[in-house]
Chain A
């Protein structure tokens, strides 16, 4: 069903490969028949109207949905050639490799330093100088270092919304993830901060695979290399992937009429 155009190729088997993926919340069949390959070290955007399953799909990629009772999935989803749902795979370890940024900035109610050091500490980094280095470099990568360098002891909640979101990004970068999942990372922050986060994504892309769920078509157009359009056509039926391909091409020449309707603003 899905319209593929220029499906990204990853000859080394890198990136994320999804085959005939289905997902259920209890009895509710939320996603059906999703097939796609996500290019490594590129930005891929998931778009679609509310309830189209794009966030659900995103949360499947680091198995956050395991935390919800009664969820179930079928099909294949692999990261760099490894099935992440294979029996015995530790979701905790998976999440270290696949970091996540949420819609609402959610720093821990601790100091800025402790927020960033949280992940490395979990991994057993105890040396103060190692931690100092990691905190500094991570904050630098998140473009936050200059703003907070003198006040690492401050509570993370004392930052502005945009700064909090970048702190959350620094926090994830501190554990060196291969993939960064961003679930509408800009919908709860002000426009200037959005600009900074988008710039940051562009900077990070060459080193980290980024997948972003967004409601804003403009944002998808601005930041992403590839784009996937999800849609639930009728209430009660599972949503699925409609069209997937190069962002510019989808915007200029959508193949599926439903995609066209959506990006021209006819529904959603």
Chain B
């Protein structure tokens, strides 16, 4: 009878280890009473801003902010259903979403850069050409004055706010070519385009130059305008959008404090570093308390 028992003990080892790990883990990070936890869910584009703000905010106030990137739509869905306190979104509300009592706050501006492979000689596209490319009407780079090379479309997934913004600004009612590759992440789009000669994609301008990437991509000018922070900020670059926080009704308590923190000067540099344009980029005066809230119903 001795040996079976030893087996049983052996089998318990991983179990005990697991429990011990879980135990000591939870010990290091117990939230002291009186501090509240809020949840921010939504856009992967806004994720970096929301996360860094959450870290700094927690360090400053002790309140915990849980941030997850499920896509803009999922975030808005979560706020409507009450699962999350704040939805982060890289697009405005749809008509259906706007029927709920959501309050929106613009937290940053973002431009969407059109990227192609470094080897691609094409320099500029017009908005209309871009629409035709993504609708599948223009299929070869030679139609844009480039080499005889099939265009490989790279699109984002439907949960992506970037796709939504691109759709409303560029497609203007035209349908996406559904045979395009659908990739669920910005970095992937960049990587794929950097490795395929005929590929074209779109990403936030902040991600065009990446410290992580080992490869480079080329941005096209759109209607002759370079995709730069300045051009987004002064409105010259045509494909730009706002990044939002949505709350169910006016933000209250910790949620309000958190949103205020995101808009504060402390975050300006971080937002720039993350590749976005802070709302006060153009130094247009903004008082501390105004969080520029507009009723969701007016969106669009």
Per the CB under 8 Å rule, do A and B touch in the complex?
no
Using a CB–CB cutoff of 8 Å, the interface residues on chain B facing chain A are none
